[in-house]
């Protein structure tokens, strides 16, 4: 476990490279088949882009001493909700009938940052509300709180860095949003998810399309670094070994 944490940048770089290489391969495959790529949707819905990060989460958890068969990815990812029957997460750890970990891993690549930002934020907030309300109502764990993690990677490009105007026809928006780019908005969003205790921990990375294939990435905010996220995750899981 400590070996991965001590060299976490290398492991994250591999996951970043996997993301961009997989995305590129999916786009090329669809292009060769002559299928139209409306708004790059093929690369978004093709799946597998986040597998490098999911694998890294799993390796961190396994290294704490949790047996692999308690970890769920790819299948059996549904958890009961309060406002809806079930919600699929990206990785779960369930041991002896207790939910230990639930992680959501998302990304966004341009050019349509506006609508997608609203969709991503509403989805993340709704998922957390649904899980914690179900938890309160005794859907799982009998009072032992799980680790709820949110990971997000954003394309670092001109459109995501450009200041965005806000509309204020009736009331003033909070000052931190005035002139904030979509990159800054995502940073604020991830931070506020933790501050309001919707998620136990969150990590926010950015990466350029070209350099990302080489595993190059940035962490705009120290408090949302992957290493802090990873340490929080393994600390929580360690209590259940």
Summarize pLDDT for 14-24 with one digit per residue, the tens. Answer: 999 999 999 99
Choose among 13, 21, 51, 24: nearest CA to 215.
13
- For residue 207, name the pLDDT band (cuts at 50, 70, 90): very high
Query: Is 102 in contact with 131 (CB distance < 8 Å)?
Result: yes
Task: Give me the chain's average pLDDT, please.
Answer: 91
Range scoring the smallest mean pLDDT among 114-118, 129-133, 149-153, 190-194: 114-118
- Looking at residue 35, what is its pLDDT? 61
Per-residue pLDDT, averaged over 141-154, amounts to 91
CA distance 150 to 203: 7
Long-range contacts for 164-170 (Cβ within 8 Å, ≥24 apart)?
164/114
What pTM value is reported for the model?
A: 0.91
Residue in 10, 189, 174, 26 with CA at minimum distance from that of residue 104: 189
């Amino acid at each position: 476990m400590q070996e991965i944490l001590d060299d976490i940048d290398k492991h994250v770089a591999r996951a970043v490279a996997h993301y961009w290489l997989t995305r590129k391969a999916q786009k090329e495959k669809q292009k060769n088949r002559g299928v139209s790529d409306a708004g790059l949707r093929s690369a978004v819905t093709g799946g597998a882009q986040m597998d490098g990060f999911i694998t890294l989460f799993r390796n961190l958890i396994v290294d704490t001493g949790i047996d692999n068969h308690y970890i769920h990815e790819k299948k059996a990812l549904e958890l009961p909700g309060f406002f809806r029957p079930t919600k699929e997460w990206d990785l779960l750890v369930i041991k002896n009938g207790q939910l230990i970990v639930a992680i959501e891993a998302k990304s966004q690549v341009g050019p349509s940052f506006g609508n997608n930002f609203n969709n991503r934020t509403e989805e993340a907030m709704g998922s957390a509300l649904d899980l914690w309300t179900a938890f309160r109502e005794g859907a799982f764990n009998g009072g032992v709180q799980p680790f709820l993690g949110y990971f997000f990677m954003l394309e670092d490009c001109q459109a995501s860095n450009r200041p965005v105007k806000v509309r204020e026809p009736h009331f003033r928006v909070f000052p931190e949003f005035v002139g904030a780019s979509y990159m800054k908005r995502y940073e604020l969003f991830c931070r506020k998810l933790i501050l309001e205790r919707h998620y136990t921990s969150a990590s926010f990375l950015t990466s350029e399309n070209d350099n990302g294939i080489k595993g190059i990435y940035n962490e705009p905010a120290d408090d949302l670094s992957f290493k802090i996220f990873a340490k929080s995750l393994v600390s929580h899981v360690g209590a259940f070994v």
